Structure 1
Amino acid sequence: MIARLAGLPPVWLALFASAGAVLGRLVPLDLPAALRGLGLLLVAAGLALTMWRARTTVMPGRRPEALVTAGPFRFSRNPIYLADVILLAGLMLALAAPAGLVTVPAFALLLQRRFILREEAVIAAAFGSAYDRYRMQVRRWI
């Protein structure tokens, strides 16, 4: 059960958000109200990007049915993971826990090493030169 949960990026997002919120309470820093508002905007942007779905699997490790290059995939090869990172940063600002922002790069690194690199290998095996061309045109994150 725990191994299955560890294979789900939203579980990691919740863990990092919790850790960031705790850190923000342990190391309280002043945060202008405008930055809290920016945090809410980032949360909304992250949620909106997460809700975008293509007609292929979004489950880590599964073979995709299609190579999606439209929509947000024109700008990032991993827009849903990017949305998770944006969402985490926004939560730290919205919760007035700026010290928790240190969790954001750690979370991005975990996503890349635990999920993205493996998924890229699966996609490359499935779509070959088409994926190679796409990878040369679109960056991993932004």
Structure 2
Amino acid sequence: MTPGTFAVRLGRLYFTLQAAAGALWWVGVFTLPWVRHTTLGELNPVVVGALDIPLFVLASAAVALGLRSFVWVVVPWTVIVTMGLAVYATVTGLAGWGVLIMVAASGGGLAAGLLVWLKRIPTEWIVFGPFRFRAAPAGRAGYLGQTFGQIVVFWGACLVLIPGIIAVVESRWGLSIQLPLWARIAGGVLLLVASALGIWSAVTMSTLGSGTPLPSAMPRLLVIAGPYRFVRNPMAVAGITQGIAVGLIASSWLVVVYALCGSLIWNWVVRPHEEADLEAKFGPDFAAYRERVSCWVPRRPRAGAPRR
């Protein structure tokens, strides 16, 4: 079986499961009041079902049977429903669980649709414009200042703005779960430790690598000193841990999920392209470094690991 054939079969399997889950959900909507209330709020199930059953359930079944053109029906419809339900839940405070289900369906449907239509997920689409990997200009000073500027922007967006919006929406949708005090304290400690690791990693990269963490101005030299001796991606480890810590501090389980989803996207989508770029630039040196040092779990470097 070729990789393309496997990808198509995997995508069709997803739509098979989605069609079955959608059918069962609609049975629950019409037979179980709690399912209807938690996922649709006060929306009229007959009106919604008249559109959703053919455009979501039956269209998913059609893709599962090999009619791939129905991808262009089910995926856009899923996204439209997700956005509409999110607006409804935000205005009314109802149907929060329905929004979460549809967010998951939108992400899964988009990925499966790409598998069915393109026979793969084109992860290279994410590496474009300001996210395209480029080495920092040679001979330019101020890498450390640029790095701290990037930290302010990215930490402000990823650790304050986005989690704040998620926490507000989580409360408005009636999905909040109050965490115990000890969990919030643990989150504060975890945030301090992870932030220290992030700053240590950023300073090491900018001072020894002649570049910044930003993809558009990456280090010109391979950095294997400081925290990079113990784990290949200390900034990613720090960022994900910070996100989890912020979720604990804010008593928001959705922020924790946001951080964990970010880790999966980084590991499966971004990291392969970043490591391919590093291997193209640094060749055997990076290949040897990758063999010696773990990607995620910090550990003592193996004997013979160079120090720079």
Q: 1:114 to 1:22 in 2, by over 3 A?
A: farther
Aligned to 2:198: 50
Question: Percent identical across equivalent pairs?
Answer: 26
1:17 alignment partner in structure 2: 163
Query: Structure 2: any 5+ residue segments left out of the alignment?
Result: 1-127, 133-149, 298-308
Matched residue, 2:265 = 110
Q: Is residue 131–residue 216 contact of structure 2 (8 Å, CA) maintained in 1?
A: no
2:287 corresponds to: 132
| Greater length-normalized contact order (CA 8 Å, ≥ 6 residues apart) | 1
Query: Structure 2: how far apart are the matches of 1:10 and 1:4?
Result: 17
- Once residues 4 and 37 of structure 1 are traced to their aligned partners in structure 2, the CA distance between those partners, rounded to angstroms, is 40
Q: Distance in 1 between matches of 2:131 and 2:170?
A: 24
- Residues in 1 aligned to 2:170 and 2:131: alpha-carbon distance in whole angstroms: 24
Q: C-alpha displacement at 1:13, in angstroms?
A: 2.4
Letter in 1 for 2:286: Y
Matched residue type, 2:182: A
How many residues align structurally?
140
Q: Which runs of 5+ in 1 are unaligned?
A: none
**More deviation, 88-97/37-46:** 37-46
Larger Cα-atom Rg? 2
For residues 73 and 5 of structure 1, do their structure 2 counterparts lie closer, same or farther at Cα, with a shift above 3 Å needed?
A: same
The residue type equivalent to 2:184 in the other structure is: R
The aligned residue for residue 29 of structure 1 is 177
- Distance (Å, rounded) in 2 between the aligned partners of 1:105 and 1:5: 24
Q: Give the whole-Å Cα distance in 2 for the aligned partners of 1:121 and 1:61.
A: 16
Say which SS state the counterpart of residue 31 (structure 1) adopts.
coil
TM-score by length of 2: 0.40
- C-alpha RMSD over aligned residues: 2.8
